[in-house]
Amino acid sequence: MKNYLLFFLLAFQIGIASENHKITGFLNLAKPSSKKDTIPNAIDYKKYFFAYTDEEEDDCDACGCSASGGSMGFSSMLNSNFVGVRYFNQNYKSTDGLYSNSKWYTENFNTMQVWARIPVIKNVQVTVLVPYHFHDRATENGKQHISGLGDITLLGMYRLYQTHKDSTLLVHTLQVGAGVKLPSGKFNETNSGNVNPSYQVGTGSWDYLLATEYTVKRKQFGLNTLLNYIIKTENNKYYRFGNQLNYSSTLFYLYQVKKYIFAPQLGFSGEIYQENYQHKQIVKNTAGDIFFGKIGFELGKDKLSLGVNAMLPINQNLTGGNVEAKYRWSININYAL
């Protein structure tokens, strides 16, 4: 199933590059043509929540890019440009798998993150993520805790294509980008030998991101799809985490009542991991993949917005079956720039 999904997403995003203008977009809420084609009173909030025309700089209205392993996204469905604070939690269970009745232990990965999406020049935006991790897990010797600054991520996105403002049916936006993850988080070599080698606050390595994102909208409905690939390098402890592919597709709806705008979201996402290496030798049972269903919403008023998302695994195969993801969820508060 995952192969079909990846093929669909690749074709969906690459195909837009040759899209004919006859099927290009309808919704330009910054300059609505009639009341029935727009959200009521939407023009009062266009600066913060809706699509801009080709002539304006802040026109990425529904963008996301999950590239840090959490698949929780790099952006907001409401705010084109913003600064905010986000908390997300990931819950796992792991076992050494030595015996059929080996005990399973709970692992909680917690992250408090300052994040921002900032316009640089026309068609270019930079996303910055500064995480602080505080993880805990149960072991046969009792509770274990680690905490500290994580790996800082910088990602630049360039708008390669956008529907012309005189379009009559759909709005299309295609972005491509690249970025880097700095080795600002501490890598613990001892933890890399555990069942879950990702129990870290950092990889200790310089990693590189390639990303592509496609959004299509009609009236208040929209679909956002993305693919990104993380190229990971060896750290100074001679350990290299495997390269990682992330994919996601999210259906959303923009609904406004008086001064509030509400955007429910429903979709799926997935991650595919290659094997880790230590001293250039493959580390067994470190490859894997996982496929999530996800649901969430964003609620905005003036320049402030609140977002909540939850993800549940549908299918997974992590570290040879010795690690199971249970759920992920996040909450964020943003201030529109």
pTM above 0.85, yes or no: no
Angle (CA) 112 113 117, round 5°: 160
Sign of CA dihedral 120, 66, 187, 288: negative
Residue 17: the pLDDT is 41
In eight-state DSSP terms, residue 169 is B
Question: Mapping DSSP to helix (H, G, I), strand (E, B) and coil, where does residue 204 land?
Answer: coil
- The pLDDT tens digits for 139-177 are 888 899 999 999 999 999 999 998 876 656 888 999 999
- The pLDDT tens digits for 33-62 are 344 333 333 334 444 444 433 333 332 222
- The pLDDT tens digits for 191-243 are 776 778 888 999 999 999 999 999 999 889 999 998 999 999 999 999 999 99
- The pLDDT tens digits for 266-307 are 999 999 999 999 999 999 989 999 999 999 999 999 999 999
Residue 70: the pLDDT is 42
Q: How many C-beta atoms surround the C-beta of residue 61 within 10 A?
A: 27
Give bridge partners of residue 77 from the DSSP assignment.
none
Assess contact for 161 and 17: CB atoms under 8 A: yes
Residue 76: the pLDDT is 78
Residue 38: the pLDDT is 38
Assess contact for 93 and 104: CB atoms under 8 A: yes
* Mean pLDDT of all residues in 321-335: 94
Tell me the Ramachandran region of residue 279: left when phi exceeds 0, alpha when psi lies from -120 to 50, beta otherwise. left
Residue 72: the pLDDT is 64
pLDDT at 318 over 50: yes
Sign of CA dihedral 140, 136, 323, 311: positive
Is residue 9 very low, low, confident or very high in pLDDT (cuts 50, 70, 90)?
Answer: low
